[in-house]
Amino acid sequence: MNIILFGPPGAGKGTQAYYLVKNFNLYKISTGDLLRIEIKNKTSLGKKIKSIIDKGLLASDKIINDLIKKILANKKVNNRLIFDGYPRNLNQAKELDLLIKRNNQTISCVLSLDVDKKSILKRILGRKICSKCGLIFNVYFSPVTKKNHNCDPKFLHKRPDDNKKTIEKRYKTYINKTLPILNFYKEQNLLHRVNGKAKIDDIYKEIRGIITSIET
């Protein structure tokens, strides 16, 4: 089962991916994470990527496709991937289709988290991520408490690209480039729309129901 989590930046894809990974033995693919690893390791590709992201732009399709190609060839995670925030445009979606088929895998479903722009701004600006355990918190919606987080607070940080100007830019790109993908998957009967403004637990319950109905 390969799943695509779809939705604007800040829709809560990362949070849902976290629970799906935990409960369905899936492996999360976030191109953001893959890119950040390259940047952190200061590879030549990483340096190139950093200058692009610093401008609020997105990495080229070629860079992304190369990263995805590598993951799909990895037998350890065969047919249990969850794509978080990828594909981001129609070209990437078509390329992913080819790569998936070439590796004898399938896309089981595309889950679209629907959220409006106002909520997105609040979500992203309040977001804090734990670099140790991967949990995502939000000062407005799901603040850190002693009950929900055990790591040292020093691991909690904001992503450098989580600022208003970058978000506005990314949202515009999402509307123009990413949203058209929905039709591509709708035509393949893979699309499931979920109310992304509901509570995190309720969203998860709905998603879990969809996945379970596909599995059986």
Task: Return the range that interacts with Zn ion (CB under 5 A); candidates 87-95, 128-136, 185-193, 198-206.
Answer: 128-136
Q: Is 15 or 89 the residue whose CB approaches Zn ion more closely?
A: 15
Helices (H) and strands (E) in the chain, counts: 9, 8
Q: Least distance in Å: CB of 33 to Zn ion? A: 15
- 132 binding Zn ion? (CB under 5 A): yes
Among 5, 11, 93, 130, binds Zn ion (CB under 5 A): 130
**Three-class secondary structure of residue 79 per DSSP:** coil
* Amino acid at the residue 136: I
Q: Is the peptide bond between 87 and the residue preceding it cis, with omega within 30 degrees of 0?
A: yes
Give the whole-angstrom CA distance, residue 3 versus residue 133.
Answer: 22
Q: Is 57 or 133 the residue whose CB approaches Zn ion more closely?
A: 133
Q: Least distance in Å: CB of 128 to Zn ion? A: 10
**Three-class secondary structure of residue 157 per DSSP:** strand
Give the whole-angstrom CA distance, residue 39 versus residue 51.
Answer: 10
- 151 binding Zn ion? (CB under 5 A): yes
Give the whole-angstrom CA distance, residue 56 versus residue 17.
Answer: 24
Q: Least distance in Å: CB of 214 to Zn ion? A: 31
Q: Least distance in Å: CB of 155 to Zn ion? A: 5
Contacting residues toward Zn ion, per CB under 5 A: 130, 132-133, 151
